[in-house]
Amino acid sequence: MAANSALRPISNEEQSLAFKLEYAILSVLIHYNGSYEESLPDWYAALRLGCPQLKDPRELRDVFERLSANGIIELNKPNSGSYRGGATDHPLFNLGTFTTSLTRDGLVHWNTVRIQAVQLVA
Query: Letter for the amino acid at 62?
Result: D
Using 50, 70 and 90 to split pLDDT, how confident is the model at 103? very high
Q: Is the pLDDT of residue 55 over 80?
A: yes
> What is the predicted pLDDT for the residue at 121?
61
Residue 2: the pLDDT is: 45
Alpha helices in the chain (DSSP H): 12-31, 40-50, 57-69, 104-121
Bridge partners of residue 38, in order along the sequence:
98
Statement: residue 89 has pLDDT above 70: no
Distance CA 3, CA 109 (A): 25
How high does pLDDT run on average in the chain?
A: 82
Q: How confident is the model at residue 7 (pLDDT cuts 50, 70, 90)?
A: very low
Q: Report which secondary-structure segment, H or E, holds 99.
A: strand 97-102
Query: What is the spatial distance between Cα 18 and Cα 51, in angstroms, rounded to a whole number?
Result: 10
pLDDT for 91 equals 58
